[in-house]
Structures are given as structure tokens and as C-alpha cells.
Chain A
Amino acid sequence: MISIWTIARKELSDSLRNRWLVAIALVFATLALGIAWFGAAASGQVGYASTPATIASLASLGIFLIPLIALLLAYDAIVGEEEGGTLLLLMTYPLSRSQLLLGKFLGHGFTLALATLIGFGVAGIAIAVLVEGISVAVLAAGMLQFIVSTILLGWGFIALAYVVSVRVSEKSIAAGLALAIWFFFVLVFDLVLLGVLVASEGKLSSDLLPWLLMLNPTDIYRLLNIVAFSETSQLSGVLSLGSDLPIGAAGMWCGLVLWFAVPLGVALLLFKNRRI
């Protein structure tokens, strides 16, 4: 347990040292405040639109940004240590492979969680203080749910990055594959799903289709943050499938948790069988 914490502590202090944590938090805070202030620009005025609209906009941006940041943070976790020549040395210490990977996850996960909490938390407080006549309770509840789901989404992609990192032998390959993962889940998946929907001409079982959304953590995230706050009529594209999901919010939260637990388990398993 102490060795897991030692590894986590080093990762955390690394991300403080290279200013990753500060940079991510700043980006989040700037984004959140920008969206809050110019959220109503589409309707021709500058100002705070509404809490659900703000969170929906934040989530739409988060879908692009969070996976990218998480993948960048974590893609070299193991392969970087190997290329740097420290993996072999670490493995001669009283430290198991799972302890090393879990320590890394703790460190990276905590970095991302802290940056998210600080970045969006500060923005949330600023909105609460500066916007007149806002319902703080609604904002706080919405922000809390948004932040927690953002952290879970980030953890999912950290774990996916580990699956790559424990498998490949070069950092550049890991970076390429990490980008491919981002591309697939963020851009390609929905297009493919839409294509399947159109091509099948309704022949696919309509009970099955909504479940396909659960295969993509970014879709779960989007559903959680947009469905929860909007009327279903606002949903567009494949997201409209989400309203047919019979599992409700709790199921979606479970989905997000599974999306970091399962890849993490896979990464642990792959790492155990890796040659050093």
C-alpha cells in the first residue's frame, strides 16, 4: 500500500512540477467562464443563458477536451518508464506490477480530478457570485454532477491510455494509438452508429440500439449531462436513442464507472504478462 502511494505521490508531484495540473485547471476555468458569459450569444445577447444550457455547452466541449487531456497525461505511463530505462529498476524493488500501475492511476487520476475540481469549481463559484438572480442550489447540483462525471470520463480515458501503454514498446506508437482512441470514441463512433441506423432501415431491434450508446463513454457522459438538464426535444442525432434507454441515470453512472474499471483491469492483466 505504501509503495502504491509512493508512485502516486511522484506522479502528482511531477504534474505539479511540469505545471500540467495548473494548465489543465486554467483551461477548464477559462472555458467554463467563457461559456457562462457568452452562453446566450446565439440568441443575440451577451450574458448568462441558463444553468442547464451552460452545463450542456460545457459537456459538449468537455467531450473533446477531457479524453484528449486524459490520454496525453497517461499514454506514456509504462512505455515512458521503459524507454527512460527506469521500469527495469523499479521492478527490482519490492513493488509488484499491479502496484506500479495502480499507483500511476492514483497519481494521474488525482491530478485530473484536482484540476477538474479546481477549474470548474472556481468557475462555478464565480458564476454563483457574479450572476444575479441565479439559483445557487440548481447550479451547485448541476456543477457537482458535471464535475463528477467529467472526472469519471477522464479516468476512463486514463485507463484506456494504460491499455496502450502496457502493450506497446515505443512511446511514439503509444501516442499514435492514444490519438486513434480519441478519434474513434469522440468523432468516429457516433458517425458509424448513425450510419448503421440509416443503413439498417429500422430492421435492427429497437431495444438493442440504445444500448449501443453505452459502448462509448463519451456518449454516456453526454447523455448524463445533457439529458439530465434538458427537455428530450433538444436531443439530436444518435443521442435521441438515449431517451429510450431503460436504465436511467443510475445505470449511466454505473456505465461510466465500468468504463474506467474494465480498461484498468485489462491494463493490469496485460502488464502482468509483459516481458521486461
Chain B
Amino acid sequence: MSCFHLENVSYRYAKTPVLRGVDLRLEPGEILGLFGHNGAGKTTCIKLILGLMQPAEGQISVLGGVPGDPQVTRHIGYLPENVMFYPQLTGREILSHFARLKGVSLGQVEELLGQVGLADAMDTRVKTYSKGMRQRLGLAQALLGKPKLLMLDEPTVGLDPVATADLYRLLRRLRDEGTGIVLCSHVLPGVEPYIDRAAILTEGALQAVGDLPSLRRQANMAITLTLEPEGSFSDLEKAVNEASASVGLTTSDASQPGVNADKGVLRVDVRPAEKMPLIRALLASGEVRDMNVHQPGLEDIYMHFIGSGGLAHRGGAQ
């Protein structure tokens, strides 16, 4: 049984299309990163899965049922972006209220508050909470009743690095226990190591879905080799040119944009398929003392699919 399955889902707001033919599914024990620019339709996707809105077209099934059905909702945990609570109540009172609404035992309340690091603050009023503490309370709320589907919208906003690491560790543990998790975030390098699959939305349409290697293949983006010369720099340049020529690379000249020198190292951008032949030829030349291979990261892939310039020329050291 899938955590959710969207089939050709479209949604319009005042006749403006917000989602267009989205196909997406999430299996138990999987963390899906949902990315997109502001207004791309991430929140709309989540609201449709939660049953807060009805799609204009298409089918949605959630945990084998209909979105919005109380029997389904009971097993969903949701952390909205900028979560807010009743300021006059304490953390414990708020979590107890939500636990009652979800039909979950009140024994979980204290345990969850401890788990998110609010054990000391659970009896103070939420209006004195910092942004990070509110976020943690929001997280505790989402974890009530051990959900089978967990949807987190910008969960790390306001969290310090230690709390962020704790959160990701917790998510990984939940995933291993079989929870399906959706993670919306703009901090792409932060979530990259933790997601199993990424879905990239632009203007309401799904641009790409898949795990990172397959997205990399799909994007066919350049891989950057950073080369340190064994001897003189010009010898290395010559070796690169020869090696490029021998593997039939088009970007064979040091004057071309694919290759550039910087602080005594040489950077060469190659297509994924050209990478290994070039490396072999270079190593054979004996002019390379050290080499660093930089794969495009989630952020690069994202930029590629969002289509804002991409990384045709990426200078900075990684």
C-alpha cells in the first residue's frame, strides 16, 4: 500500500492552473524531497494529499483510502510552514489538546516533548517560545500517534545545526521503521544526504522525479575535475589537451570555457560519459599529482531543472 499516489492531478485556483498533470507516489520507508521555487505548487500538493482541497482532475489515494477521511488523517503527521500555536497555552497543554484530537494516548505527550528537546520548557507558555522551540513543538505535534505518512514543510527553519542533525537522524529512524516521509525544503545541500528520491516542481508541473544518480543521468550535467600539476602548470595543460584530443573531447583547449585555471589548479568540465576515458588518459600522462572529482549536487540538479542558468560555468572551489 502506497503512502500516497497522485495520478495525473491538476488543480486550479480562480481558473489559474496551480498543478498540471502531476504523477507522484510515495512508498513506505522512503524519504521524498519535494522541491520547487516559491509558488511552484508544493504546498498545494500537500494540501491535496491532506484532503484540504479537492483536485480539479485526477485521482489521489492516501494510505489506501481517500484524502481527508478521518481514518486516513489519523495516520498522517503534518508540520506546516511557519507553524503557530495558541500563545496562552503551555507546550504540554497544546500537545495534549492535539493528542486528544488525534485520539492518541496522552502518555506520548511528555515522551515526544522530551524527544524534540522541549522537556524543560513544556510547562511554560508558548508565547515565550523562540522560533526554534515553536518549530520543535510543531514537530512533536506531527509525530503524534506514530504516523505512517509524515509531511514536513520547511522543518529545519529556525533550528540550530545540532537540532537539525537530530531531526534528520530522527527522520532516518522513522523511515527505517517504515514511515513514508515528504520533506519540503529550500536548504538543498542540507537535505541532500537524507532523501531517497527528489521531485522537482516548476510552475505546477513535475519536472523530474527520481533518486540522485538517475536525476544526474537525466540532467546529463558536466562533472568537474580539479587537477593539481605534478610538474609545471603548462605541462599539465598540454597533457589535458592531448588527453582530451585522444578521447575525442570537444572542449579540448585551455582557452575554452570548459577548462579554466585557478590558483595553481586546473578545472575541467566533462560530460558523465567522457569522465572515465579522460581520467584514464590523464593518469597515464603522469602529469597529475592530485585529482578531485565533483559530482553535481542536488542544488546543481535543481538549478538545471528549474532552468535558471544552470552550471555551464561554475568557478567556485568545492
A89 touches B78 (CB 8 A): yes
CB proximity to B under 8 Å, residues A82-140: 84-86, 88-96
Residue of A nearest to B74 (CB): A94
Given A6-B101, A84-B86: A92 and B74 interface contact (C-beta under 8 Å): no
Point out the residue from A6, A90, A92, A96 that lies within 8 Å of B76, measured CB to CB: A92
A276 and B70 CA atoms in complex are apart in Å by: 17
CB proximity to A under 8 Å, residues B74-116: 74, 76, 78, 80, 82-88, 97-98, 100-103
Interface of A is mostly: helix
Q: Mark A145-179, 1 if CB is under 8 A from B, else 0.
A: 00000000000000000000000000000000000
CB proximity to B under 8 Å, residues A15-46: 17-18
Point out the residue from B83, B88, B103 that lies within 8 Å of A89, measured CB to CB: B83
Given A6-B97, A93-B101, A94-B102: A88 and B52 interface contact (C-beta under 8 Å): yes
Query: B73 near A: Cβ within 8 Å?
Result: yes
Tier of interface size on chain A: 20 to 34
Query: B224 near A: Cβ within 8 Å?
Result: no
Q: In the assembled complex, which residues on chain A have CB atoms less than 8 Å from the CB atom of B74?
A: 94
Q: In the assembled complex, which residues on chain A have CB atoms less than 8 Å from the CB atom of B85?
A: 84-86
Point out the residue from A6, A85, A92, A275 that lies within 8 Å of B73, measured CB to CB: A92
Given A84-B86, A86-B85, A93-B98: A2 and B103 interface contact (C-beta under 8 Å): yes
A14 and B100 CA atoms in complex are apart in Å by: 16
The distance from the CB of B69 to the nearest CB of chain A, in whole angstroms, is 9
B50 touches A92 (CB 8 A): yes
Query: A240 near B: Cβ within 8 Å?
Result: no
B103 touches A86 (CB 8 A): no
Tier of interface size on chain B: 20 to 34
A85 and B84 CA atoms in complex are apart in Å by: 5
Q: In the assembled complex, which residues on chain A have CB atoms less than 8 Å from the CB atom of B84?
A: 84-86
Query: A60 near B: Cβ within 8 Å?
Result: no
A229 and B83 CA atoms in complex are apart in Å by: 55
The distance from the CB of A76 to the nearest CB of chain B, in whole angstroms, is 12
A6 and B99 CA atoms in complex are apart in Å by: 10
Given A84-B86, A88-B52: A93 and B102 interface contact (C-beta under 8 Å): yes
Query: Which residues of B pack against A, CB within 8 Å?
Result: 50, 52-53, 70-71, 73-74, 76, 78, 80, 82-88, 97-98, 100-103, 141
Name 12 A/B residue pairs within 8 A (Cβ), A-sorted. Answer: A6-B97, A84-B85, A84-B86, A84-B87, A85-B80, A85-B84, A89-B80, A89-B83, A92-B73, A93-B73, A94-B71, A276-B52
Given A86-B86, A94-B74, 4 further pairs, Cβ under 8 A:
A6-B101, A84-B87, A85-B80, A89-B141
